[in-house]
Chain A
């Protein structure tokens, strides 16, 4: 599948992607390298993984990162309760060695995302979400897995990937990532979409929206992003906003200032943003967008 075909396939799944990003995804697939996506919250970084899994018709395995994420949450864990029960049930039969071999077998292993990802028959999409929230140790550990795709479990031995997962990492810049990790990955910066792209996103996701209203919504949201905001509304917020307007039966943004101000709840998510974007400002923006 070349870059254009990939772009079309993703569009069919309702994800409109820019040229830069389509090429990055295409190369990640072609070269088998992890793809690091950076960008503000709400621009659809996580969504790419979901869509890519659908396009490739494969599983999406997601690992959400947080500080203190450890092996038992990311790779594997033994099912201790089951192990205890099994030991007790076999208290009368079998030597200690047999018991040990039994309770440290596949049956008692709980797969966590990383192990699950390398044990799939068909290469899955592995999404390592918000890698910048995990600490440096985990980053170093992840590097190791990303380079040889194998995991060693002392009791079971080394498990090598049956198929190399398509790895997508996302970060939104809460801290700098190590150069080593950046070097291992392809890189794409996901920005807020331009007017045309966002319009096609809206059309793809909310086909029922009228052309005039769609233009107004995009114009409004695009100019709202230029205001000084604590939390800039992303694509998801824009879609919520559109859904709210449709749900309320609004056909023109400029018609009812009260309803427009009420629907701002879908776009503005902090108290100070709500306070700063007054009815006058929303009216001015809506007037410009109309």
Chain B
């Protein structure tokens, strides 16, 4: 059996050790706060705290909240309390170490700031990738795009206007999701009994008017995620115009783009002036036309933004060709996580429009089981044609 950590005599006793344990859990990504700490201490009063098995089980029940945390808890518990009899000098990170980390992060920042300026024009290493927008770019590049591209050259204002109209129609098509819960309504398919009884009181129990209830339409939110990596250069124009249109016609919509990293572009695209919106977008889209890390980007999305903005009433629209430089497993896992939010996933793939296209790219194959609708799209007209399918979704 692993031996219990010996604590130094200088620390302030059990409650300080518990506080240290909380900090240890927080450092390792568990979401524990003051109320959890309180609950944990209360829980320990209910068991025999000298028995490691009992206190382990008790703390596990109180401090974890999902299967993943549950599985990691034992290791975290061991590393703090069962440290093989090693003496732990400090239970809380002292001020000294804190200032250390502040110092180091500051110096790192300085380095980054220095490097950051040069990055746009000359990133790390190897040249010889000059033909950034050469044809036949179907293989995703691992190198980051060097040339900073102005999106205003890519997207035309007229396109945005047309896209706006299409996006508005698609938005309406998606919105036609009926709630399962009925609400009082002028015209409805069921009688609203509660109202009926109330009203009939005035007429001596005679129900003269029959109030109705119906299933109201519930708004669905659209979240668009657009791939702007090198292999998508040709199609990004269409998709970005579409997203710009979508953002302007629908206040609840949300948009992201990714190449080697994920960027939220919703705010930038809401600018009233479409050209200025694209200008702001260009600043955000540094790296446009470079390599693509779909798995990593979607994973980042699923872990961060999706937790806040994606729920059962969201349609996630991914616009990508599925050529990934990362591992297919990560993409599959990201899609699984995303799908667990309860959303609908539409994947629009420009290559699917090609004759004889098969989704053989490993990434695409891994993602497919989690996709509700997989359709070709490389022109605005294709997007417009989606309307009836979205109605059925």
Interface residues of A (CB under 8 A from B): 2-3, 19-20, 22-24, 26-28, 30-31, 33, 35, 38, 67-68, 70, 78, 80, 83-84, 87-88, 90-91, 96, 99-100, 103, 135-137, 173-176, 179, 182-183, 185-189
- A23 → chain B closest CB, angstroms: 3
Q: Are A188 and B65 in contact (CB under 8 A)?
A: no
A281 to B368, CA, bound (A): 30
Q: Does B133 contact A (CB under 8 A)?
A: no
Interface residues of B (CB under 8 A from A): 31, 35-36, 39, 42-43, 46-47, 53-54, 57-58, 60-62, 64-67, 70-71, 179-182, 193-194, 196-197, 200-202, 204-205, 207, 307, 311-313, 340-342
A51 to B54, CA, bound (A): 22
Q: Are A91 and B204 in contact (CB under 8 A)?
A: yes
Which of chain A's residues has its CB closest to B193's CB?
Answer: A80
Interchain CB contact (< 8 A) of A189 among B35, B70, B181: B70
Q: Are B57 and A23 in contact (CB under 8 A)?
A: yes
Number of residue pairs spanning A and B whose beta carbons lie under 8 angstroms apart:
111
Give the residues in chain A near B31, CB-CB below 8 Å. Answer: 179, 183
Q: Are B66 and A175 in contact (CB under 8 A)?
A: no
Q: Are A27 and B46 in contact (CB under 8 A)?
A: yes
Q: Are B197 and A78 in contact (CB under 8 A)?
A: yes
Q: Are B180 and A187 in contact (CB under 8 A)?
A: no
Give the residues in chain B near A83, CB-CB below 8 Å. Answer: 197
Which of chain B's residues has its CB closest to A85's CB?
Answer: B205
- B218 → chain A closest CB, angstroms: 10
What are 16 inter-chain pairs, A to B, with CB distance below 8 A? Answer: A19-B57, A24-B60, A26-B47, A31-B42, A31-B43, A38-B67, A80-B194, A87-B197, A96-B201, A99-B205, A175-B341, A176-B307, A176-B340, A176-B342, A183-B31, A183-B36
Give the residues in chain B near A20, CB-CB below 8 Å. Answer: 57, 60-61
A38 to B194, CA, bound (A): 37
Interchain CB contact (< 8 A) of B194 among A35, A78, A188: A78
Q: Are A183 and B65 in contact (CB under 8 A)?
A: yes
Q: Are B65 and A91 in contact (CB under 8 A)?
A: no
Q: Are B47 and A23 in contact (CB under 8 A)?
A: yes
- B196 → chain A closest CB, angstroms: 7
A100 to B66, CA, bound (A): 48
Given A20-B60, A80-B197, A87-B200, residue A173 in contact with residue B340 (CB < 8 A)? yes
Which of chain B's residues has its CB closest to A80's CB?
Answer: B193
Q: Are A23 and B58 in contact (CB under 8 A)?
A: yes
Give the residues in chain A near B54, CB-CB below 8 Å. Answer: 3, 23
| Contacts beyond the supplied A23-B60, A30-B43, A182-B65: 12 A-B pairs with Cβ under 8 Å | A23-B57, A27-B43, A27-B46, A33-B39, A68-B180, A68-B181, A70-B181, A175-B341, A176-B340, A179-B31, A183-B65, A186-B61
Q: Which of A3, A38, A80, A100 is most buried by chain B, counting CB atoms within 10 A of its CB?
A: A3
Given A19-B57, A189-B70, residue A100 in contact with residue B342 (CB < 8 A)? no
Give the residues in chain A near B57, CB-CB below 8 Å. Answer: 3, 19-20, 22-24
Which of chain B's residues has its CB closest to A90's CB?
Answer: B205
